[in-house]
Amino acid sequence: MPIFCGIFIVYTNNADSPELATLGVRAGYDRTGEGEHSEAIFATSSFVFSNAAEAADRFQNNAPGNVYSRFTNPTVRTFEKRLAAMEGGDACVATASGMAAIMATCAALLEAGDHVLASGDLFGSTTQFFRKYLTRMGNTVDFAAIDDVADWQRKILPQTRMLFVETPSNPLTRLADISALAELASRNGAMLVVDNCFCTPALQQPLALGAHLVIHSATKFLDGQGRCVGGAVVGDSERIADVFAFLRAAGPCMSPFNAWVFLKGLETLELRMQRHCESAAALAEWLQAQPRVSKVFYPGLDSHPQNSLCRLQQSAAGGVVSFELAGGREAAWQLIDAVQMISITANLGDAKSTITHPATTTHGRLTDEQREQAGISEGLVRIAVGLESLVDIQRDLITGLG
Ligand SMILES: *Cc1c(COP(=O)(O)O)cnc(C)c1O
């Protein structure tokens, strides 16, 4: 049931909340008087008031209602309510991009002097934002090994306010133990923030595992068809109110059109994730049997060192598979240049499968030593498995693997 709380809506989940697939299709929408079946797009920057007193009340948060689309737009609000319901959070704030979600969360919830402890395996721009800009805002940042809770324990400081992870990691699919890190954060007066971009709520619900906030790049699987850039933060109403206040003041908001596209994406999320995961799992098994492939990284494989953790905290192992070719960079580039259908791009979470060589693209700016430390070898190839038939994906790869 939606509850009015200040200017944004809190969406409370209860025990008999509908299933995820249903929430993706139905949650969060209040049909207008026109009786439309598909959600309307409110392409308007501002809203009108019936009199001066109403305008004053709305501006001062004394009455519910829309004011201006930087912080109140019905289409954006529908997306926020739907995603909050799917993640099992009280509330959500939609942002202009995934990076805007991370920036808004840090700017709203950290004070100068606070310490952030982040996973060493993070999206490149997130690492860059932490290293270059968070430090400039007076915060200190350290990095811990994603799969080693003891390392986090050692590095946590009295002034640590935020632990930040992305799990599974890109491209080596290492997992963070969300429950263990959430407990560590809570015990130390910090919050655990999980970037749930790779799994989406269809596979993993970090809040249910104890995490305090969930971040999304809606650009990836939530859209699912590579059309729009957007992001979101989901969590408890108190923290989200702070992030919302920052968004109102600073402005990195989501456009109503993009919110509508993401709503359509959420409708098919559960169905698409099933197919991404089924194909990726089968492709990982198939790759293991290829003579020129020396190693496959996929948390759904029995050979993955964290396969049991994956079974515990994810309902399926995800759509991204990485593998090493024995022939190093030459073999990796040869494979990439041989594909006819799979797109050569570093994007992921698209209906179209993509293939990339991390060592010279996403991780190309690292020194050789940093790359070696991160485990990104010259023979490593990453595939984000799309929605094409698996048969055609395999057929496309076989020439380059032969
Ligand atoms: C893409 C991505 C981001 C950044 O999202 P944008 O929408 O591109 O700003 C953050 N985290 C992860 C894991 C990503 O893949």
Task: List the CATH number of the domain containing 151.
Answer: 3.40.640.10
For residue 350, the CA-to-ligand 1 centroid distance in Å is 13
Counting from 1 in the atom list of ligand 1, the atom nearest the Cα of 197 is 13
Task: List the CATH number of the domain containing 309.
Answer: 3.90.1150.10
For residue 141, the CA-to-ligand 1 centroid distance in Å is 19
Q: Ligand 1 pocket by C-beta < 6 Å: which residues? A: 97-99, 123, 125-126, 166, 195, 197, 217, 219-220, 229, 231
Pocket test for ligand 1, best of 95, 97, 220 (most atoms within 8 A of CB): 220
Which residue has a Cα nearest atom 8 of ligand 1? 98
Question: Are 263 and 284 in a shared domain?
Answer: no
Question: Are 157 and 204 in a shared domain?
Answer: yes
Question: Are 298 and 381 in a shared domain?
Answer: yes
For residue 205, the CA-to-ligand 1 centroid distance in Å is 18
For residue 69, the CA-to-ligand 1 centroid distance in Å is 24
* Domain-ending residue, one of 235, 252, 267: 267
Question: Are 223 and 277 in a shared domain?
Answer: no
Question: Are 195 and 236 in a shared domain?
Answer: yes
* Domain-ending residue, one of 267, 295, 328: 267
Question: Are 339 and 246 in a shared domain?
Answer: no
Which residue has a Cα nearest atom 4 of ligand 1? 98
Question: Are 243 and 283 in a shared domain?
Answer: no
For residue 171, the CA-to-ligand 1 centroid distance in Å is 13
* Domain-ending residue, one of 210, 232, 267: 267
For residue 200, the CA-to-ligand 1 centroid distance in Å is 12
Spell out the per-residue pLDDT of the chain, length 402, in tens. 333 334 444 444 556 789 999 999 999 999 999 999 999 999 999 999 999 999 999 988 899 899 999 999 999 999 999 999 999 999 999 999 999 999 999 999 999 999 999 999 999 899 999 999 999 999 999 999 999 999 999 999 999 999 999 999 999 999 999 999 999 999 999 999 999 999 999 999 999 999 999 999 999 999 999 999 999 999 999 999 999 999 999 999 999 999 999 999 999 999 999 999 999 999 999 999 999 999 999 999 999 999 999 999 999 999 999 999 999 999 999 999 999 999 999 889 999 999 999 999 988 888 888 888 888 999 999 999 999 999 999 999 998 887
- Its pTM surpasses 0.85: yes
Pocket test for ligand 1, best of 106, 199, 217 (most atoms within 8 A of CB): 217
Helix/strand/coil (H, E, C) string of the chain? Answer: CEEEECCEEEECCCCCCCCHHHHHHHCCCCCCCCCCCCCCCCCCCECCCCCHHHHHHHHCCCCCCCCECCCCCHHHHHHHHHHHHHHCCCEEEEECCHHHHHHHHHHHHCCCCCEEEEECCCCHHHHHHHHHHHCCCCCEEEEECCCCHHHHHHHCCCCEEEEEEECCCCCCCCCCCHHHHHHHHHHCCCEEEEECCCCHHHHCCHHHHCCCEEEEECCCCCCCCCCCCCEEEEECHHHHHHHHHHHHHHCCCCCHHHHHHHHHHHHCHHHHHHHHHHHHHHHHHHHHCCCCEEEEECCCCCCCCCHHHHHHHCCCCCCEEEEEECCHHHHHHHHHHHCCCCEECCCCCCCCCEEECHHHCCCCCCCHHHHHHHCCCCCEEEEECCCCCHHHHHHHHHHHHC
Which residue has a Cα nearest atom 11 of ligand 1? 123
Question: Are 299 and 261 in a shared domain?
Answer: no
Counting from 1 in the atom list of ligand 1, the atom nearest the Cα of 230 is 7
Which residue has a Cα nearest atom 12 of ligand 1? 123
Q: Which domain holds residue 105?
A: 2-267
Number of domains present in the structure of the chain: 2
Question: Are 138 and 150 in a shared domain?
Answer: yes
Question: Are 223 and 333 in a shared domain?
Answer: no
For residue 19, the CA-to-ligand 1 centroid distance in Å is 27
Question: Are 117 and 141 in a shared domain?
Answer: yes
